[in-house]
Amino acid sequence: MVPGARLVVLGKQGAGKGTQCVRLSHHYVVPHVSTGDMLRAAVKQGTAMGKKAKSLMDRGELLGDDLIMDMVTERLGEKDVRARGFVLDGCPRTVSQAERLAAILAPYDLDLAIDLEVHTGQVLRRLAARRVCVDCGANYSTSTPPLISWTCDVCGGEVIQREDDTEEAISRRLEIYELQTTPLIEWYRSRGQLESVPGTGTPDAVTRRMVKVIEDRRNRGSGFG
Ligand code: AMP
């Protein structure tokens, strides 16, 4: 079996992070930990946290670091993650979250943070076309819909347009990304933990590029402990 991995995937909304994280989690046989999916599940279940999160999420605003990092700490403490690692999707989004993540993982650290690079014009087109399953989070688009009338191929759930994929919320999320998340890329670079990968081309081509940078690192022996 392939060895596990501890990975963070960064990238603008619509860069293809969700799709690629699912693929990496299958490749390395590690859980896909998506803070957005966890929060959407909490909203759907109507939990206290979900109620608190919904309006901020719909507006494209970030939730507080404490709430997010408590949720992530709990998930990263579970047995499956401790056994093999994780692919973290949607977190960290701020330098403060990254610092707290490093503290949670100590004495280990992340193997690698991968920045999935896509131009803003392209992510805007992708986000407008994006559709997701409300139950399992599987990604579709208007050009690659599920086989049967907006019913998820994976779990049979309803496939919809996300409530935060409105024009207004998208531009706010991209603005926040620029302000809060771009400094993270430099933060990981300065620690020697960053690789950038172009997010353009077919999903298969992007996955191959990501696996290659991970394997190159592994072979060089840097980061992987
Ligand atoms: P995503 O699916 O990753 O785009 O996340 C959807 C929404 O959940 C974001 O627009 C935020 O409102 C919230 N969210 C998810 N992850 C985080 C995070 N790490 N920090 C703050 N807010 C988050």
Q: What averages of pLDDT result for each successive group of 10 residues across the chain (225 residues)?
A: 92 92 96 95 92 92 96 97 96 96 93 95 90 90 94 96 88 92 95 96 96 93 61
Q: ∠79-85-89 over CA atoms, to 5°?
A: 110
| C-alpha–C-alpha distance, residues 209 and 111, integer Å | 16
Given the residues 12, 17, 126, 131, the one annotated as active site: 17
Q: Which atom of ligand 1 is nearest to the CA of 60?
A: 10
- CATH number for the domain running over 5-127+192-220: 3.40.50.300
Is 59 part of the annotated catalytic residue set? no
Q: Which atom of ligand 1 is nearest to the CA of 169?
A: 10
Q: What is the pLDDT of residue 132?
A: 92
The conformation of residue 222, written as its DSSP 8-state character, comes to S
**Site to substitute for ligand 1 among 9, 55, 63, 95, most atoms within 8 A of C-beta:** 63
Q: Which atom of ligand 1 is nearest to the CA of 92?
A: 19
The conformation of residue 88, written as its DSSP 8-state character, comes to E
Q: What is the pLDDT of residue 168?
A: 86
Residues flanking ligand 1, CB < 6 Å: 13, 35-36, 39, 56-57, 60-63, 68, 90-91, 93, 97, 164, 173
96 CA to middle of ligand 1, Å? 15
Residue 118: which of 224, 9, 217, 37 has the closest Cα? Answer: 9
| C-alpha–C-alpha distance, residues 56 and 164, integer Å | 10
| C-alpha–C-alpha distance, residues 41 and 14, integer Å | 20
63 CA to middle of ligand 1, Å? 7
| C-alpha–C-alpha distance, residues 68 and 59, integer Å | 17
Give the three-state DSSP class for 34.
strand
Burial (CB count within 10 angstroms: exposed 0-12, middle 13-18, buried 19+), residue 202:
exposed
Q: Which residues contact 97 (CB under 8 A, 6 or more apart)?
A: 65, 68, 69, 91
Is 130 part of the annotated catalytic residue set? yes
| 194 and 98 Cβ atoms separated by less than 8 Å | no
Tokens 């990496």 belong to 24
How much helix, strand and coil, in percent to the nearest 5, is found in the chain? 50, 15, 30
Is 75 part of the annotated catalytic residue set? no
Entry pTM: 0.89
Q: What is the pLDDT of residue 225?
A: 53
